Structure 1
């Protein structure tokens, strides 16, 4: 039987270079960010997947991280400024810089035997706002060629709706009000106003031509009420196809925003896609 990282444990144990899971910390704009690093078995170096959570970050997608590690990828997960023990104030405006700090952490640790990272092979993968951050950051980085978005936000497009529709704005305030109390020095209104303030530069449709040059895996959720397909997924897919994206793979799973009922299917899709990554 062939080894399947989605459902099989590794057959062999490498006593010299075993799989590991270690705490890490690095700085972004003077704040200490906390993370977890999954190291794949074997001397390596191994490609690195930076796996970004959404808001407020209670779903870390560790189940996916274990799958990717069994498949031979290192995985870095971390908490943005102002959430889950990381220093600083929480802001969606921080996401690109915090992601950049994570990439720099990997690159600056070239040769670190604990990390065993191939710093020239970094993949971005994100859920919800993490999906937005992954796609947005890749637009401005030639070195990032492979991006995964799971129920990703189009932050600028949603900001447009918030600006013109007071009912949607008020409903959104109620929806994220409790989550905003979990992170540091943020409010529901303040976070939503950030989306309005960045209508132009955070609308992913604006960057379709750039994104169409990437190897993209974009996964939506049919019953998603947090990032509805009609706002965040379908327009982006249509725009990417219109701009000639040749390395675009799209899936829509029959589940809600967190993929709670489709974790195995989600892992299978991503695992299969990872075998086709190009660097």
Structure 2
């Protein structure tokens, strides 16, 4: 009975023994990465951690492998700044719906080495997309690179839309209370003293990130100016399905500035597959998590109905394989 109780937990965390050592756990056990054929449906997936190279450095990421089928569409889920809310509840909900999910930490954030900058975060998102198209991702993690969707919250929403606009093979994008830098640092949203105000606003969060300060991040954003205005990307974004979710009581990314104006630009670009909603909650969707997960999963299923299950079925681990995941002693 003791074995069965523990063995049932294998799908929740395939790297239980190294969950706190992000840098030391690069892949799932070899048996979990082998092609799986002939097992029944409903077999649970697993969670692992991976290291992805970028500019002679690396970023760490959690990978949520969907159960059942050998090859799955995959959602890149990008967290905000500094990343207190990782949206792992959304990751599990999407995984249960038959999608793989990868949640990376940008350079300088939460154990990933290097320095945190906005430009590094933009490049890191692109690096993860590139990794998802590698033979390693297909063979070891069951990634079906034909269906890649990018989603993100706050900063992650900005990164998701930026990455999608620059990558024609990304099938869709989701922004959850996305922060549009250009709307604050350029155009009608800009105010005298913007750089100083942003520096003070971002300093507390910057303390959790390596090599970052509120002043440096504010200077970087102001220097980018209109280049980081998502409205400039309306034409390439309008070519694919989009889900934009705002929070009515958001004081970080107020909908009137970060949501409504982007929608206007997308509609002017003749976007026909944009779904938008404003929820009665705050920036973190703190009291609307269940509904947010349902909306995200429902959107994925509606926009990509034939992509969930491809390839063979993955079997459960043998008794010996499951024992590899249990603490020793």
Could you tell me how far 1:38 is from its partner in structure 2? 0.3
What TM-score do you get using the length of structure 1 for normalisation?
Answer: 0.90
Match of 2:52 in 1: 26
Match of 1:9 in 2: none
Could you tell me how far 1:15 is from its partner in structure 2? 8.8
2:69 pairs with 1:69? no
Could you tell me how far 1:150 is from its partner in structure 2? 0.2
2:295 pairs with 1:266? no
Given the superposition, is the C-alpha separation of residues 40 and 14 from structure 1 closer, same or farther in structure 2, using an over 3 Å criterion? farther
Cα distance in 2 for partners of 1:238, 1:206 equals: 12
What TM-score do you get using the length of structure 2 for normalisation?
Answer: 0.77
* Unmatched runs of 5 consecutive residues or more in structure 1: 1-12
* Unmatched runs of 5 consecutive residues or more in structure 2: 1-38, 308-329
Match of 1:242 in 2: 268
Cα distance in 1 for partners of 2:290, 2:127 equals: 31
Could you tell me how far 1:252 is from its partner in structure 2? 0.4
Cα distance in 2 for partners of 1:151, 1:111 equals: 29
Cα distance in 2 for partners of 1:111, 1:147 equals: 20
Cα distance in 2 for partners of 1:112, 1:218 equals: 29
Q: Retained in 2: the 8 A contact 1:131–1:151?
A: yes
Cα distance in 2 for partners of 1:14, 1:165 equals: 62
Deviations 1:118-157 (A, max 9, x none): 0111110000111001101111111012000000011112
Could you tell me how far 1:177 is from its partner in structure 2? 1.1
Could you tell me how far 1:231 is from its partner in structure 2? 1.4
Equivalent of residue 203 in structure 2, options 177, 183, 188:
177
Equivalent of residue 155 in structure 2, options 113, 126, 129:
129
Could you tell me how far 1:165 is from its partner in structure 2? 2.2
Could you tell me how far 1:76 is from its partner in structure 2? 0.2
Equivalent of residue 150 in structure 1, options 176, 179, 187:
176
Deviations 1:186-207 (A, max 9, x none): 1101111111111122111112
Secondary structure at the residue paired with 1:275? Answer: helix
Cα distance in 1 for partners of 2:218, 2:230 equals: 17
Q: Which moved more, 1:192-201 or 1:144-153?
A: 192-201
Q: Retained in 2: the 8 A contact 1:109–1:115?
A: no
Match of 1:59 in 2: 85
TM alignment of 1:40-51, pairs within 5 A: 40-51=66-77
Name the structure, 1 or 2, with higher relative contact order (CA <8 Å, separation 6+): 2
Match of 1:116 in 2: 142
Secondary structure at the residue paired with 2:70? Answer: coil
Could you tell me how far 1:111 is from its partner in structure 2? 6.5
Q: Retained in 2: the 8 A contact 1:159–1:192?
A: no
Q: Retained in 1: the 8 A contact 2:107–2:116?
A: yes
Match of 1:164 in 2: 191
Match of 1:140 in 2: 166
Secondary structure at the residue paired with 2:225? Answer: coil
